[in-house]
Structure 1
Amino acid sequence: MASEMCKLRPMFPLLLWVTIAIFMILFYLSTNPGGKSSEILTLGNEIHTITIHQKVNETRKIRAKEEEFQDFLSLVRRVAMDDNTVILTEVNEAFAAPGSLLDAFLESFRVGKDIQHLLNHVIIVAMDVKAFDRCKSLHPHCYLLKIPGVSLNSEKVFMSKDYIELVWTKVKLQRLIIESGYNFLFTDVDIMWFRNPLRYISVYADLTLGSDNFTGDPEDWKNNAPNTGLVYIKSTKKNAEMLKYWHQARERFPPINEQLVFDYIKHELVGMFNLRIQFVDTAYWGGFCQPKKDFNKICTFHGTCIIGLEAKLHYLRIVLEEWKRFIASSASNFPGS
């Protein structure tokens, strides 16, 4: 032990001089704030300054976004349910044209089981002026969203450039809603509503969504095929970060829609954010990919696996008429309430 102490003794003067030098520098900086040396910051001060600048920049971005979407957020506040949940869908001119998907979508609420009141909480985002004007003639809660340099008025071919831009806009709006303290249930306009789908929202899950092919296990995020056309997300800080990450992940892949990107990165979302995902059985949130169509159970029916606006509308109209016959035959003894 003595020999080891002897070896350490030569280090003491060096450590002493280093300590004295540090104190002298700090003293000089504190007594010469205008001097050139005041520009030199310690690592801790640099980190602190950078953190402050980041927070200031983030605050400025949030305020700028709030100013840009002030009318939208005002509409969200107006239509939100008691639990701060809003229902959101998007249309362009082709979807909103007379006799098109928007008409069928709104009709489904009116002939559905005890869901007409939910229209009071539905915001329809129009992608062009004609869609906005048609929306206003049908529904009280419409919002015009313009995307510079992109024309979204006509029917968009599946996976075309403009189609990709159309579907990614909803992630941007969804994040804005979450950051503003509201939950949302996003629904594609090619979904017929027959019962309230909120009855299958899990308190446990961060994110609840439909599936094109349901495995039978609602928590099987590895094998269930996600369909982001019907998705519920709670307003939490984690979900705001998740939506930001999801939107940024777009740059890592070739031009594809938001649903495919979600499927590619869902393992990252679970790992990084501890995201709790729950899928709803297609018996309740159905579609053409895995058609079960038991009208005693069904809440929503999605025009999945059907390509083309006319084809979607044709087959969804058939489903809507089948539902009408079902409720007519049920008369006063209505099942599935």
Structure 2
Amino acid sequence: MKNGEAVGGGGGGSSISPLVSFLLGAAMAIVCILFVVSASPGRRLADISAWSNATATAEDTPQEVAAASNITAAPSPVQAPAPVSAYGDLEEVLRRAAMKDRTVIMTQINAAWTKPGSLLDLFLESFRTGEGGVARLLDHLVIVSMDPAAYEGCQAVHRHCYFLRTTGVDYRSEKMFMSKDYLEMMWGRNKFQQTVLQLGYNFLFTDVDVMWFRDPFRHISMGADMAISTDVFMGDPYSLGNFPNGGFLFVRSSNKTVELYRSWQQGRWRFFGKHEQDVFNLIKHEQAARLQLTIQFLDTTYISGFCQLSKDLDKICTLHANCCVGLAAKLHDLRSVLDVWTNYTAAPPEDRRAGKFHWNLPGICIH
């Protein structure tokens, strides 16, 4: 029957229509996919992601493919950062300030000494009004600041500033002589000097209450491991009987001097409660013999102080406000000293030779 043949859909006698065949085939494909995915659950997201990005080209970078598929790619190799110095920027500051022979001049300040008109201003003024090119030595001066305010004050007036970060002591205010904080500051200074030696630099340390009039290096022996100022000079620069003052101190970097500083630091506990200057006086004989150190004690005619005052303005190189307690007293007498020095340097040579200029005596401390 013709109509029955038409409904049967042609030869072969199949009774399944093309639509039903398509649906059955699609269902079987879905079952297979689900079976494979369920058999490897750990790969599920990766497989689906890879499948969805099968059109990525060979030119796509791993990062681009990973970004498109939300996969984290292995990071590209990067250059390791340069090692950070344990001393912060100290080595860079010393390098910039050092002379050709790796010598630096150093002083130490806190906020109380950096206020306008305070000791730092007088200290820098003395260099600028000095003779014989002493002003050029400012290029080699490192100012070590003990607190943020002092560091900011230093940066406003000088090129080479270093912030020595410390803990346990508030260094912003004036520290009275022999107080607990004062001793901590002095021993911390001593330890910092040791660090500078270990870095291979010679140093001339000067307290900020030292006025610089002429170049003092010409009075420091080339053969000395250490040259130190004196409260009282006994006449022989190599006699250990002289009374040292650590406020003006030159040290050459060597194994011997580093070892001296180690012993000096240990002496803090051997002679507990003493000033680092007093400890040096107590160990100088044994350490000079043990380490074969040459220690020069500087003549107060040239490297002077209030303790033993040089009154010869034609010879003096530096003047230290030692034997004087209190910031106000130091400021008063050093201001007077600078006024006399300014008049002296402005005078005609014949007036200077005639000895017409003298310190204004007595002051609060100077006499």
TM norm structure 1: 0.77
Aligned counterpart for 2:172 among listed residues 149, 153, 173:
153
1:183 is matched with 202
Aligned counterpart for 1:126 among listed residues 145, 150, 154:
145
1:53 is matched with none
Cα displacement (A) at 1:333? 9.6
1:233 aligns with 2:237: no
Aligned residue runs from structure 1 range 175-214, under 5 A: 175-214=194-233
2:120 is matched with 102
3-state SS, counterpart of residue 137 of structure 2: helix
Aligned counterpart for 2:260 among listed residues 231, 242, 249:
242
- Does the 8 Å CA contact 2:302/2:318 hold for their aligned counterparts? yes
Structure 2 distance, partners of 1:177, 1:166, is 17
Rg (Cα) greater in structure: 2
Cα displacement (A) at 1:334? 8.1
Which residue type is aligned with residue 221 of structure 2?
A: S
1:270 is matched with 288
Structure 1 distance, partners of 2:115, 2:287, is 37
Aligned residue runs from structure 1 range 206-225, under 5 A: 206-221=225-240, 223-225=241-243
Cα displacement (A) at 1:269? 1.1
- Does the 8 Å CA contact 2:344/2:352 hold for their aligned counterparts? no
Aligned residue runs from structure 1 range 7-156, under 5 A: 67-113=85-131, 114-156=133-175
After the TM superposition, which segments of 4 or more aligned residues of structure 1 sit over 6 Å from their partners?
332-335
1:309 aligns with 2:327: yes
Q: Which has the higher contact order (CA 8 A, sep 6+)?
A: 1
Structure 1 distance, partners of 2:211, 2:348, is 19
3-state SS, counterpart of residue 341 of structure 2: helix
3-state SS, counterpart of residue 68 of structure 1: coil
Aligned counterpart for 1:299 among listed residues 317, 331, 356:
317
Cα displacement (A) at 1:207? 0.5
Structure 1 distance, partners of 2:228, 2:271, is 22
- Does the 8 Å CA contact 1:286/1:293 hold for their aligned counterparts? no
3-state SS, counterpart of residue 89 of structure 1: strand
Which residue type is aligned with residue 70 of structure 1?
A: G
Which residue type is aligned with residue 328 of structure 2?
A: E
Residue deviations 1:224-253, cap 9 Å, x none?
A: 100111010111111111111111211111
Aligned residue runs from structure 1 range 255-266, under 5 A: 255-266=273-284
Which residue type is aligned with residue 220 of structure 1?
A: S
Cα displacement (A) at 1:136? 0.6
3-state SS, counterpart of residue 345 of structure 2: helix
- Does the 8 Å CA contact 2:99/2:140 hold for their aligned counterparts? yes
Residue deviations 1:40-66, cap 9 Å, x none?
A: xxxxxxxxxxxxxxxxxxxxxxxx9x8
3-state SS, counterpart of residue 211 of structure 2: strand
Which residue type is aligned with residue 194 of structure 1?
A: F
Which residue type is aligned with residue 237 of structure 1?
A: N
Which residue type is aligned with residue 346 of structure 2?
A: A
Query: How many residues are treated as equivalent by the alignment?
Result: 270
Cα displacement (A) at 1:118? 0.6
Structure 2 distance, partners of 1:115, 1:332, is 23
Which residue type is aligned with residue 100 of structure 1?
A: S
- Does the 8 Å CA contact 1:123/1:142 hold for their aligned counterparts? yes
Which residue type is aligned with residue 268 of structure 1?
A: E
Cα displacement (A) at 1:83? 1.2
1:321 aligns with 2:348: no
TM norm structure 2: 0.71
- Does the 8 Å CA contact 2:126/2:212 hold for their aligned counterparts? yes
Percent identical pairs in the alignment equals: 48
- Which ranges of structure 1 fall in alignment gaps of 5 or more residues? 1-63
Structure 2 distance, partners of 1:276, 1:92, is 33
